[in-house]
């Protein structure tokens, strides 16, 4: 996954994961939630995990109108609507595990 | 930049393989809570614990949400109560246990550890009173955990204390007979006890520790099991390498959570303890890791070697991932909490003798072992003595958490519920050890320089 150099403060970056059966409107659904809250998408990447779609978005919450907890709830609701599992986590978790 | 595979690997570890932060444990010093009046001392203890740990549960839950990592338990460990209570003029330390229990309930933690004494060389008046108070204290409280260190490599084994602990365990089982002796699940007898272990029931806040500290226990037998399963037929060196890498990744999660919790609570970060602590959940089993390595059942010949490989690889990976590795760090082999261990016992692949051998190379000892309720006190003491000897001679921590289940016999089952699990009663050796145990005294410290 390649991402252009971002000026985002590292502490504001989150990773949104979407896992579930593929269907029309998943990207649009997630992107709408983010756009509505002024959260900037830095990168999108997807793959298939067994028969499922696995999509990962990296986003910047620097100018976000809501906090991570609220965003998680909104994404969770959207996920239910779309029949997929959507979660948002702080980027640090992944950096800590995979980068020294 | 992170790859999508790396991101998905982390998500899979949490969602499918039960990776979790098992506990955030806040250590709190109670050394300033002594008073000649036990009531004043208990009030000071309650006030200090509730003040210091006020935000612990909230912070833990917030971190869990932000990082998407389950944090199963928030807990507290305190200075060994024998030291705090010793200045008080009283004959029972039950009120101290009750004060801790109330404080734990108030701040919302499920266990508070530190109703403890260190008696490897001898007993002070406070130690004596504490040990005498253990059965009643654990029977009459819900959340208090007790531990007693009866041996160290440097001082040998205090057999008088071992003998008393046998009695305390038996008495405690009787007092909680209506709940299958569940009180004994909150009591550990140690050799070479670590002072910064975050895992219950053996956690306490050691005397060399700061005023307050955050220690984190991480677990993930399921993740390690998956690692082993993905390498069928790989030689054992390759397997060890893969386990090391997995242990590294798991430990990093502990380091992250520990640092975050310490910062938010405004206390220093102590240690990460990476211990493969099984739960009764399917796949979250240390026994099944050994079976994945190619043993038909845990307990088969080769189990000790397989466990040695596992324990060492976990420690090596952990030590690379964090410069503050501590506690017990390794693999736990509790019987009732591990579905694979239970099956092995049921099928008679695993008995107390093989378990004892395995404790020579695991990170703790005989854990959550349910034995017949009519087991003589001296036999329980002798089991503790054997464990202590293994720890003392091998310069490692060993512990014994034994439950003589009242009214139950070999072939019957006991259900403790929740994470404590369910287990068949394990037979013990029927021959008597009383002549040996009743001699009392101290088994001297070993000579470790004459190694030829």
Average of pLDDT values for A13-32?
Answer: 91
The residue behind tokens 């997807």 is A46
In this prediction, residue A7 carries a pLDDT of: 35
Report B:256-285 residues touching A (Cβ under 8 A).
256
Tokens 């060993």, residue located = B398
Q: Is B235 on the interface with A (CB under 8 A)?
A: no
The CATH class, in words, for B21-191 is alpha beta
A12-98 falls under which CATH superfamily?
A: ACT domain (3.30.70.260)
**The pLDDT value given to residue A11:** 67
CB of B323 less than 8 A from some CB of A = no
Q: What is the pLDDT of residue B449?
A: 63
* CB-neighbour burial class of residue A25 (10 A; exposed 0-12, middle 13-18, buried 19+): exposed
**What is the nearest CA distance from B193 to chain A, expressed in angstroms?**
30
Residue A59 above 70 pLDDT?
yes
The ipTM assigned to this model is 0.81
Distance of alpha carbon A71 from alpha carbon A73, whole angstroms: 5
Decide: B104 and B112 in contact? Cβ < 8 Å: yes
**Antiparallel, parallel or unpaired: β B144-152 and B156-158:** antiparallel
Q: Residue B404's closest CA among B366, B433, B440? A: B366
Question: DSSP state, B420?
Answer: G
How far apart, in whole angstroms, are the C-alpha atoms of residue B203 and residue B327?
Answer: 9
Is A98 a residue whose pLDDT tops 60?
yes
Structure confidence at residue B182 (pLDDT): 95
CA nearest to A90 within chain B? B67
Q: Choose among B4, B65, B253: nearest Cβ to A97.
A: B253
Looking at residue B190, what is its pLDDT? 96
Q: Coil, helix or strand for B144?
A: strand
Give residue A8's pLDDT.
34
> Could you say which of B3, B7, B67 has the minimum Cβ distance to residue A17?
B7
Taking the C-alpha atoms of residue B172 and residue B185, their distance in angstroms, rounded to an integer, is 10
B209 touches chain A (CB under 8 A): no
Interface contacts (A, B; CB < 8 Å): 68
- Per CB-CB distance under 8 Å, the chain A contacts of B67 are 89-90, 92-93
**How far are the Cα atoms of B52, B174, B292 from residue B228, in angstroms, in the given order?**
42, 42, 6
CATH 3.20.70.20 fits B217-442, yes or no: yes
Q: What is the mean pLDDT of residues A34-57?
A: 89
Q: What stretches in chain B show pLDDT beneath 50?
A: none
Tell me which chain B residue has its CA closest to the CA of residue A44. B4
Inter-chain residue contact A98 with B255, CB threshold 8 Å: no
Range(s) within chain B of domains with CATH label 3.20.70.20 = 21-191, 217-442
Contacts of B17 in chain A (CB under 8 A): none
Query: What is the least distance, in Å, from the CA of A60 to any CA of chain B?
Result: 14
Residue ranges per domain, chain A? Answer: 12-98
A interface residues, B as partner, C-beta within 8 Å: 1-3, 15, 17, 19, 45-47, 49, 54, 56, 58, 68-69, 72, 87-99
Q: Is the pLDDT of residue A61 over 70?
A: yes
Which candidate, B276, B286, B398, B275, places its Cα nearest to that of B326?
B275
Which pLDDT belongs to residue A4?
36
């Amino acid at each position: 996954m390649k991402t252009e150099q971002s000026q985002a403060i590292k502490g504001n970056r989150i990773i949104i994961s979407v896992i579930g059966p593929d269907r029309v409107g998943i990207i649009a659904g997630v992107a709408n939630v983010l756009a509505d809250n002024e959260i900037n998408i830095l990168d999108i990447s997807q793959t298939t995990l067994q028969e499922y779609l696995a999509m990962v978005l990296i986003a910047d919450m620097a100018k976000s109108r809501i906090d991570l907890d609220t965003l998680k709830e909104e994404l969770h609701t959207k996920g239910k609507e779309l029949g997929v599992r959507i979660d948002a986590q702080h980027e640090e978790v992944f950096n800590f595990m995979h980068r020294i | 930049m992170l790859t999508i595979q790396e991101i998905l690997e982390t998500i899979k570890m949490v969602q499918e393989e039960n990776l979790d932060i098992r506990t955030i444990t806040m250590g709190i010093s109670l050394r300033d809570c002594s008073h000649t009046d036990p009531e004043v001392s208990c009030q000071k203890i309650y006030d200090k614990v509730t003040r210091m740990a006020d935000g612990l549960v909230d912070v833990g839950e917030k971190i869990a949400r932000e990082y998407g990592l389950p944090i199963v338990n928030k807990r507290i460990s305190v200075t060994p109560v024998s030291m705090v209570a010793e200045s008080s003029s009283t004959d029972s330390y039950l009120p101290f246990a009750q004060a801790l229990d109330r404080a734990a309930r108030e701040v919302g933690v499920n266990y508070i550890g530190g109703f403890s004494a260190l008696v490897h060389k001898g007993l002070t008046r406070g130690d004596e009173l504490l040990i005498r108070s253990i059965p009643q204290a654990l029977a009459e409280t819900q959340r208090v955990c007790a531990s007693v260190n009866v041996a160290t490599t440097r001082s040998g084994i205090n057999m008088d204390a071992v003998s008393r602990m046998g009695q305390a365990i038996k008495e405690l089982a009787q007092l909680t007979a209506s709940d299958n002796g569940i009180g004994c699940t909150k009591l550990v007898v140690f050799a070479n006890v670590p002072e910064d272990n975050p895992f219950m029931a053996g956690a306490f806040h050691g005397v060399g520790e700061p005023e307050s500290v955050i220690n984190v226990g991480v677990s993930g037998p399921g993740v390690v099991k998956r690692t082993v399963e993905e390498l069928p037929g790989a030689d054992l060196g390759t397997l060890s390498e893969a386990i090391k890498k997995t242990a590294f990744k798991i430990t990093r999660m502990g380091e992250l959570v520990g640092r975050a919790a310490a910062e938010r609570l405004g206390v220093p970060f102590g240690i990460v303890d990476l211990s493969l602590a099984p739960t009764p959940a399917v796949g979250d089993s240390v026994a099944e890791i050994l079976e994945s390595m190619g043993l038909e059942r845990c307990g088969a010949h080769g189990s000790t070697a397989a466990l040695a490989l596992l324990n060492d690889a976990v420690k090596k990976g952990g030590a690379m991932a964090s410069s503050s590795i501590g506690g017990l760090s390794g693999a736990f082999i509790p019987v009732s909490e591990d579905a694979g261990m239970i099956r092995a016992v049921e099928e008679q692949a695993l008995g107390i003798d093989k378990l004892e051998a395995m404790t020579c190379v695991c990170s703790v000892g005989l854990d959550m072992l349910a034995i017949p309720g009519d087991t003589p006190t001296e036999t329980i003491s002798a089991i503790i003595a054997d464990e202590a000897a293994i720890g003392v001679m091998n310069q490692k921590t060993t512990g014994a958490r034994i439950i003589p289940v009242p009214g139950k016999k070999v072939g019957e089952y006991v259900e403790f519920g929740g994470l404590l699990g369910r287990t068949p009663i394990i037979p013990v050796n029927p021959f008597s050890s009383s002549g040996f145990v009743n001699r009392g005294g101290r088994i001297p410290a070993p000579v470790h320089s004459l190694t030829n």
